Each structure stands twice: as C-alpha cells, then as structure tokens.
Amino acid sequence: MDGRNSPWMWLRPGMHVKRWLLLLMAGIVLISLGLAYLLRQLYTDLTFPAAFYYLTLQFLSRPVRAILLGTLGVSIVLLALVQLNRALLNPFVSPSQANVAERVYQHHRRRRGPKIVALGGGTGLSTLLRGLKQHSDNITAIVSVADDGGSSGKLRQATGMLPPGDIRQCLVALSEEEGVTGQLFQYRFGDQYGLGGHSFGNLFIAAMSEIAGSFEQGVVESSRVLAVRGRVIPSTLKQVTLAADLRVESAHEGHGWQRVVGESAIPTAQREIVRVFLEPETAPAYPEAVKAILQADLIIAGPGSLFTSVLPNLLVPGIAAAIRASKARRLYVCNVATQPGETAHFDVDAHVRALRQHVGDLFPVVLANDHLLPSQGEMAHLEPVALPAGQPTDYTLLTADVVDEEHPWRHDSAKLAQAIVAIYQEPAR
C-alpha cells in the first residue's frame, strides 16, 4: 500500500491524533469494566436459561474468552472509526484532493512553522509568499502603499483609499486554493464594461473596505474569502507618495539632478536614481506591522523592485526602527535580473549598497541567485544580476539556484522558499 494512503499515517508524530485515540480507548475500557461489574452481579443474583451458557461462551476458559472478546472488540472499534472518518469527510473532500492524513500532517507542520515577516510589493513579494506558505502558516506580508499607477492609482485618486493592487496579489498568493477564486481576483476588466484597467480584486477590496468600515478591516475580510494562510497588512495607513532624485548628465541639460514624484513615474524617467523618499517622510507605521516584526523569527526584504517596492516599506521610520529592535534573523533577497529604469547594470553589491545608503545595515545576510540564465524574447534586455568577484566583507552573501528556468527574470517560488528555510534552520551566522 502507498505510504501516503496508509491508515498508519494517522499515527505519525505531529498528527495530534494518538492522544485522542488513547483517550477514546481509555473510555471504552472504563465502560467495559462497568458492564463487567454489572454482569458479574447479575450472574450472582439471577438464574438464566441454559442457552446463556453457550451465548456467554462459558464452555471456554476465561483467558480464551478474554482474548476472543478483546480481539472482536478492537476489530469493531477500528472498523467503526474508519467508516465514521469516511462518512464525516466524504462531503468535504473530493477524490482529486490529496490524502486526508497527509493534509492534516502538513497543516500541523505549517502551524509549527517559524513566524516570518516579508516586506515588499509587486510580483516579487507574491512569488516569495507562494513558496513560503508551503512551510509555515505564520506569515505576515507587509506591503507598500505607495503605488499610484493602474487600477490602484485610479481607485486611490477617486476614493482616497490606500492602493489595493499589491495587497490583492499577496492575498491571492497566500490563498489556500489558488483556483477559480484566485483567477477571479486577478481578472482585469476590459473597456467594454466601463471599468477598463480595473481588476476585480481591487474593486472587491474597495467594496469590502466600505462595508467593513476601514481599509485594514476590508483586507481582513477579503483574507477570509480567499482562505489566506497568514495575513497581509500595509506598512502604514497614511497616504504616502514616493519621490526620487534622479541624476541628470547630458549635453543639453548639463549635470545635476531632477526630482520625480510618483512611484509609476520613477522607472519611466530612465535615469540613475540617487535616492528615493516618502512624502511625508514621517508617516507612522501601522501598529500591527510593528508588532509582527518584533515577534518575528525571520524578516525578509525582497525580492522585488528595489526602489519602488522594497524601499518604500523600509522608509517608513517605525518599520525600520522595529527591524533594528527585532531579535529575528534578517535576510535580503536580491533580484535575479536587473530592472530597466531602476537597477540597470546592477550587480549584487550595487543592490546592497543602494539598500544601505537608504536605510543602513538592516539586513546583514543577503541571498542571491548563482544559476545565471540569459532572458529570451521580449525580456532579452533584462540582464542576470551578477555575483561580486569575491566574498563581501561587510555582509554575509549566500547563494543558491533560485531562478525560474522558464522565466529567468523571476525567482522560482519553491526553490526560493526552500533556500530561505534552509538558511533559517542553519546556526546563526
């Protein structure tokens, strides 16, 4: 019999089943003793017909009767448990789903997983979360709210709500079932509906925020609809705008710098980024985000757009302060490919240097991809992020094959999560 389908899987350590089976058996034994005392008294006080001599197996010795009745009793109890388990679970488990015992084991394993905080936004963070949810249910995604483009920007401008786009992607990535419901949340309307550019998930979060009375509570309720493992929260509830100072060097414009306001405008300027900052710079951190960071076992920044997804979270003063005060292990995940308009021609050292210029030495350990693959087709202009020539002296560089071979400009969710879990389980560096 396949080990994954064996009934003995219910007895594996960590299933939280054996204790209740033992308690059940103890209850059955007590009931049996009570009946035995009652029958003993009845045999003494009453006279039974001769047929009872054979019905009660009195022609056999007492040890033999005990073995026969005990074996029969255990067999009946096991049969009853198996059939009861099947009758109770059949309405909720389809034949296509994994073995129930295996799912229960994985559920309890994930519940004991480390408390992980992941900071970022966009596709990079959702890719990370999709892999991490297989290892722990104790995940908190802290998402940037500086997005001002696309559907999120339109909703932000029209309603004054925080941008829901990155939060939507993280909710779908952490969803228990990324099936039709996940596709529905990611569905983007066409112009024929008068909702051109809007995604269903963004509109759902906007509507839920109105019903729940606040944006943060709307995200909580949306998490319940998607059966999210862990939680997704904003870094701040304050309306913030991301701005950047860009270096200008041209024959016509001379040498100097240019200020650009708006997250979506920064990469399209196609200039070297000197620094990014939030307006206002003193935006208060969301208290739940600070609490999650202080209670975390592992804090991860990235992957994702360095200047427009990762840094906007860390530029919230309360978030950076909480990371410095946290006793958690701290890890920066470097991108596998450069990003035009942000990190063109950056190697790993350049990513780390830009991060430290903005927020200091928050992340002493860096994970980078060591399986460099060139991008093809429309993405051929994206360069793999090169490793430094030697081992850095001011941070710990760890490398692993974490690239998606079919899409070399992205991380592979499973590979990345496995590498991060391995780093977490190693002795502290």
Residue-range domain boundaries for the chain = 3-107, 114-144+281-429
Sign, CA dihedral 109-111-113-118, equals positive
Q: For residue range 328-377, what is the model confidence (pLDDT) as tens digits?
A: 999 999 999 999 999 999 999 999 999 999 999 999 999 999 999 988 88
- Can you give the pLDDT at residue 426? 85
- Can you give the pLDDT at residue 102? 60
> Residue 90: is its pLDDT beyond 80?
no
pLDDT category, 2, cuts 50, 70, 90? very low
- Can you give the pLDDT at residue 333? 98
Q: What percentage of the chain has pLDDT greater than the value 90?
A: 55
Strands 298-301 and 329-333: parallel
> Residue 412: is its pLDDT beyond 60?
yes
CA 130 to chain centre: 6
Query: What is the DSSP secondary structure assignment for residue 256, as one 8-state letter?
Result: E
- Can you give the pLDDT at residue 352? 97
Global pTM? 0.79
Q: For residue range 96-115, what is the model confidence (pLDDT) as tens digits?
A: 555 665 666 666 566 788 99
CATH class of domain segment(s) 114-144+281-429 = alpha beta
As a whole number of angstroms, the distance between CA 182 and CA 1 comes to 35
> Residue 294: is its pLDDT beyond 50?
yes
> Residue 199: is its pLDDT beyond 70?
yes
Q: Find the mean pLDDT for residues 157-166.
A: 89
pLDDT category, 192, cuts 50, 70, 90? low
For 145, phi and psi rounded to 5 degrees? -120, 30
Tokens 């000197």, residue located: 274
For 125, phi and psi rounded to 5 degrees? -65, -40
Residue 337, SS3 per DSSP:
strand
pLDDT category, 410, cuts 50, 70, 90? very high
CA 212 to chain centre: 24
